[in-house]
Chain A
Amino acid sequence: AQSVAQPEDQVNVAEGNPLTVKCTYSVSGNPYLFWYVQYPNRGLQFLLKYITGDNLVKGSYGFEAEFNKSQTSFHLKKPSALVSDSALYFCAVRDSMDSSYKLIFGSGTRLLVRP
């Protein structure tokens, strides 16, 4: 069965500094990978996805993520963090071998950007 791990409960970064939120996955087939963001008292919003092709994926709000097959990782990155980026970030994976195409979410990482 597919699974996804976000090893950090919280990431702290100063505004203007680069940020990385880590995600690793496990699937039987090919991974379809997603990042979602949740702002306070809101539902999750789609940020970006990797299905196939270029390993570096660009998404909303200046975020990008790099797919690394050998390390089974899909870390979320941004070159220069903003205070408004502070939110809860979820990595999710879908397994190409799972006929139900179930989307499995990680436990989430809280990003705190200090001014």
Chain B
Amino acid sequence: GDSVTQMEGPVTLSEEAFLTINCTYTATGYPSLFWYVQYPGEGLQLLLKATKADDKGSNKGFEATYRKETTSFHLEKGSVQVSDSAVYFCALIPRYGGSQGNLIFGKGTKLSVKP
């Protein structure tokens, strides 16, 4: 079935370090891909999305490119800040199948950024 695999955390970085959180997926056809972020004590919010191959989603300095050939959607940021400390979820909506348009989430990666 459709699934998302993302790198396990926690990830701890120093401020201004480069961030990569790996995400790969398994799905029939070409799903839409998403990154959601959950700050401490809050619900999730959409960070960025891409709906077709080679699309790049970007927001708040974060980027991710939809790579069909490697079935990946890695999240990157060139210089993280303490305020980026959060849990990051990779997710997809399959284009076909019985998911009824529902999101399929990875297990989440906790990022801690130290000053």
Q: Do A and B come from one complex?
A: no
Residues in chain B within 8 A of chain A (CB atoms) = none
